[in-house]
Structure 1
Amino acid sequence: MSNSVPMTVEGHRRLQEELKTLIRVERPKVVQDIAEARSHGDLSENAEYDAAKERQGFVEGRIQELNDKIARAQVIDPATIKSDKIVFGATVTVFDVDTEKEATYQIVGEDEADIKHGKISITSPVGKALIGHQVDEEVRIVVPSGVRVYEITRISYT
């Protein structure tokens, strides 16, 4: 799986921070927990040991996953983009024709998506549908709850 993973500068920084914490804090702690649980004797009935080994598996798996994503990262700084079309990193304001409500989303990488903070993944139905469109265009998006019709009112790259 060598395809690149698009992410914003901020998303890349957060993954690096998480990796640093896992390597410097979580990994040594779990090794210490395993050693302590081992010192309690019989490992066959030692729930602390089992829990620590399970946590170690999770930590090591996440470290591998983060190393892979960081290695394949295609870091994009939205501030450097000059486009009148919606591309990765764009902050888009849309008007929902049915509900007559406005919403603003930034199109980001999968690991950065957080709908509570208005960040949607480029691979989500809404993210995919918005790509390539311009201000004043109407976009029909098939979502799990039906079809949404959005009018694009603003595009910015900040």
Structure 2
Amino acid sequence: MIEELKRTLSEEVDRLRHELNVTLPQEIRKAVEHGDLRENSEYKAALERQQFVQARLGHLTQRLSKLSSIDPSQIPEDKVGLGSVVVVEDERTSARETYSLVFGDAVEFQEGHVSMGSPIGRALVGKGVGDLVVLKLPTVTRRLKVVELKTIHQQ
């Protein structure tokens, strides 16, 4: 999971660097050739895109640095943590729900993915099979029991 996210972010970094160093300079050069820069929408759009790409590259570089510092051996093998797939059962309704814990800035959230910083994510972290999770939401308090757990080590 961590390696997959690093690969995805690295691919985006590569695309953005190419855009920043090759594509955008060409667009800016073409826009300058059109003349008066004060009323040149192509020039303004290219500069705005350039600023966005630079900011996104900074964010991705910082995120990759944080990902590189994660030591998978520090993630517990029997408790909910990053990359865990957890099945919980609602005590009141006996309904079962499955959650996958991911980073808050995961590239693509899929059905059942929850970030580690979300209310359900924070409530689940550190719990093991058989543990009771009390999830306090604005309109209701839910009591969930962890019935199955696959950690990042078991996937």
Q: Who is 2:38 aligned against?
A: 44
Hey, which bits of structure 1, 4+ residues long, moved more than 4 A? none
CA distance in 2, matches of 1:93, 1:76: 25
Q: Check conservation: 2:28, 2:43, Cα contact below 8 A.
A: yes
1:101 paired residue among 92, 95, 103:
95
Output the amino acid matched with 1:62. R
Cα 1:139/1:114, change in 2 over 3 Å: farther
Q: Who is 2:23 aligned against?
A: 29
TM-score (norm. length: structure 1)? 0.81
CA distance in 2, matches of 1:30, 1:15: 21
Q: Who is 2:83 aligned against?
A: 89
Q: 69-78 or 59-68, which moves further after superposition?
A: 69-78
Q: Which residues of structure 1 form unaligned runs of 5+?
A: 1-6
Q: Check conservation: 1:11, 1:111, Cα contact below 8 A.
A: no
Cα 1:52/1:133, change in 2 over 3 Å: same
Cα 1:39/1:91, change in 2 over 3 Å: same
Identity across the alignment (%): 34
Q: Which residues of structure 2 form unaligned runs of 5+?
A: none
Q: Who is 1:57 aligned against?
A: 51
CA distance in 2, matches of 1:64, 1:32: 22
Output the amino acid matched with 2:27. D
TM-score (norm. length: structure 2)? 0.83
CA RMSD of aligned residues (A): 2.4
Instruction: Count residues with an aligned counterpart.
Output: 151
Q: Who is 2:128 aligned against?
A: 134
Q: Displacement of 1:31 after TM fit?
A: 1.6
